[in-house]
Amino acid sequence: MIDIIEIDEHRRLSLDDYAADARFVGAVANLRAETARFRFLLDGRTIWMVNSTAKGGGVAEMLPRLCALITELGIDIKWAVIKSDREAFFKLTKRIHNLIHGDLSGGVELGPEDAALLEEVNRENADSLRPHLKESDILVVHDPQPLPLGGMLKKSVGLSTVWRCHIGLDQRTDATNSVWHFLRPYIERYDRAAFSMAEYIPGFLEGRASIVTPALDPYSHKNRHLLLGKTVGVLCNSGLQPAYGATLANDDEYVHKVKRVMPDGSTAVPGEVGLLFRPIVLQVSRWDRLKGWAPLLDGFIRMKQGLGQDGEGKVMSRNRHRIAQARLVLAGPDPASIADDPEGVRVFREICSRYRELDSEMQKDVIILQLPMQSRKQNALIVNALQRSAAVVVQNSLREGFGLTVTEAMWKHLAVLGSSACGIRNQIRDGIDGLITNDPEDPDEIANNLWQMLGSPIWRYQMGRSAQMRVYEDFLIFKQVSRYLKLALSALGTERISWRP
């Protein structure tokens, strides 16, 4: 049974609230004026967003506010999430996800049994969504998990369809050729497709695909400004910092604490780990091999070891101190919340066992955190506070469709150490908004980049400033709303209709 997600709770902020902020007044006015010219084309229609999860990951992160703002613009939009209790389905879609990223580890071949499973789960979900739909509606399906559903519903309901793919690879490999060959029949039943980057559009979709860059909401709990007291309060209340006095945050909201992985493999509430006092190198992501966790850990260790190898005179004592004090925080969802993602659990365990092999001094400087996922708001505030506590945010992805974690950190005025993965290098201009590690599997390059960034606070500050401007200009939600509406219109084949003045 498909889940229709209630989006009312996210509607408390209106476009007027954004427009009351001098930074966003122009963007809101542009969006309203633009929408007023084509809204009549969407009258009487519902735009349906369909994806595979209501919590966790970039798509679920962005949809609630996007839907709320589109509703406020006078356009009917709903959000549905497909469901399945079949582990094999999630294993298969994970394989498809990895193949689109060019990862062959799950094998290349996708055969008729895979197609049958994908279709069966999608048929069940299509059947439960169908009664809600009408012919004039526009279905926007996100990512491969619900992909076959679009063709099924188009055939029976006749509505307009868009497939929005958030992942991709900027190269053609055996893996990508094989997975696009497998998915092509499902995609071709759609009226239109959209990708995050031009590099990801497979050849057979040329001329039929749009670009929709992801974006963030500057007023979301993940990205809103936090005063210092609030940041500290969130850290204290979630167990990331001992409170040395009363805090402002309401403890009732923080029933679920962050857990730290301990050297003996157990978990504990972290307590004092230096978040407020030391230069923190932070990566927050899902436990996915493609996020480059292991080489990041190795790179950090090498940076620390480099300190011992360098002659006393070579490193300025200030920098020596900074690097000696630096700590690495690796944060991701509590594995209990990702039981439907066995590979994620495996990756998490691998990182933990690498951690257990470190010597006890290094173990103090590496902090693996499991973030509670029960409350979206609490999780978002924890990520927000963690990012604001960091000196350097890293996103060492081997592959990355876009990388909202990068955008989030850039918006918070932080210099990010990204990788050359397509989504990341399209956000960070190397040396301007942050640094790019060309080979995210090379611990020496990571160590060197971390060393440079930690050792140059003024340069970091300048890069952070320019990073924030970059997000302001290109990656805020107002532009994204406009891009989605144009995408919906393109599925109707009306994008070339001359709009009313």
Instruction: Give the phi and the psi of residue 389 in degrees, each rounded to 5.
Output: -85, -10
- Site mask for ligand UDP (CB under 6 A), range 219-238, x = bound: ---x----------------
Task: Determine if 217 is a binding residue for ligand UDP (CB under 6 A).
Answer: no
Task: Determine if 429 is a binding residue for ligand UDP (CB under 6 A).
Answer: no
In whole angstroms, the minimum distance from the beta carbon of 222 to ligand UDP comes to 6
Task: Determine if 58 is a binding residue for ligand UDP (CB under 6 A).
Answer: yes
The region of 22-30, 55-63, 70-78, 225-233 touching ligand UDP under the rule CB under 6 A is 55-63
Task: Determine if 328 is a binding residue for ligand UDP (CB under 6 A).
Answer: no
Whether residue 65 contacts residue 477, with contact meaning beta carbons closer than 8 Å, is answered with yes
In whole angstroms, the minimum distance from the beta carbon of 31 to ligand UDP comes to 22
The region of 37-45, 137-145, 156-164, 400-408 touching ligand UDP under the rule CB under 6 A is 400-408
Instruction: Give the phi and the psi of residue 192 in degrees, each rounded to 5.
Output: -155, 155
The region of 36-44, 264-272, 399-407, 473-481 touching ligand UDP under the rule CB under 6 A is 399-407
In whole angstroms, the minimum distance from the beta carbon of 383 to ligand UDP comes to 5
Task: Determine if 55 is a binding residue for ligand UDP (CB under 6 A).
Answer: no
User: 285 or 426, CB closer to ligand UDP?
Assistant: 285
User: 57 or 106, CB closer to ligand UDP?
Assistant: 57
The region of 14-22, 54-62, 103-111, 194-202 touching ligand UDP under the rule CB under 6 A is 54-62
With CB under 6 A, what is the number of residues at the site for ligand UDP?
17
Look up residue 328 and give its two tokens.
């690495």
Task: Determine if 191 is a binding residue for ligand UDP (CB under 6 A).
Answer: no
Look up residue 469 and give its two tokens.
């401007």
Whether residue 451 contacts residue 433, with contact meaning beta carbons closer than 8 Å, is answered with no
Geometric angle at alpha carbon 437, from 433 and 439, rounded to 5°: 155
Tell me which residue of 65, 86, 97, 380 sits closest to 222, measured CA to CA. 380
**Which residue has the closest beta carbon to ligand UDP?**
58
In whole angstroms, the minimum distance from the beta carbon of 286 to ligand UDP comes to 5
> What is the 3-class SS of 367-429, one letter each residue?
EEEEECCCCHHHHHHHHHHHHHHCCEEECCCCCCCCCHHHHHHHHCCCCEEEECCHHHHCCCC
**Stated length of the chain:** 501
Among 169, 280, 347, 383, binds ligand UDP (CB under 6 A): 383
User: 254 or 451, CB closer to ligand UDP?
Assistant: 254
Q: How far is the C-alpha of 145 from the C-alpha of 164, rounded, in Å?
A: 11
How many of the other CB atoms lie within 10 Å of CB of 358? 15
- Site mask for ligand UDP (CB under 6 A), range 279-298, x = bound: -----xxx------------
User: 176 or 427, CB closer to ligand UDP?
Assistant: 427
How many of the other CB atoms lie within 10 Å of CB of 263? 14
Q: How far is the C-alpha of 369 from the C-alpha of 262, rounded, in Å?
A: 10
Residues of this chain, 114-133, that bind ligand UDP according to CB under 6 A:
none
Task: Determine if 404 is a binding residue for ligand UDP (CB under 6 A).
Answer: yes
Task: Determine if 403 is a binding residue for ligand UDP (CB under 6 A).
Answer: yes
Range list of β-strands (E), 144-215: 160-165, 192-195, 209-211
In whole angstroms, the minimum distance from the beta carbon of 97 to ligand UDP comes to 9
Handedness of CA 174, 148, 203, 406 (dihedral sign): negative
Task: Determine if 263 is a binding residue for ligand UDP (CB under 6 A).
Answer: no
| Cα 455 to the center of its chain, rounded Å | 28
In whole angstroms, the minimum distance from the beta carbon of 273 to ligand UDP comes to 17
Tell me which residue of 118, 125, 210, 95 sits closest to 164, measured CA to CA. 210
Beta bridge partners, 328, equal: 281, 366
Among 35, 51, 61, 326, binds ligand UDP (CB under 6 A): 61
User: 75 or 383, CB closer to ligand UDP?
Assistant: 383
User: 92 or 385, CB closer to ligand UDP?
Assistant: 385
Task: Determine if 332 is a binding residue for ligand UDP (CB under 6 A).
Answer: yes
Tell me which residue of 490, 431, 410 sits closest to 160, measured CA to CA. 490
In whole angstroms, the minimum distance from the beta carbon of 130 to ligand UDP comes to 28
Task: Determine if 379 is a binding residue for ligand UDP (CB under 6 A).
Answer: yes
Whether residue 221 contacts residue 9, with contact meaning beta carbons closer than 8 Å, is answered with no
Whether residue 377 contacts residue 12, with contact meaning beta carbons closer than 8 Å, is answered with no
Footprint of ligand UDP on this chain (CB under 6 A)?
Answer: 57-58, 61, 222, 284-286, 332-333, 371, 379, 383, 402-405, 408
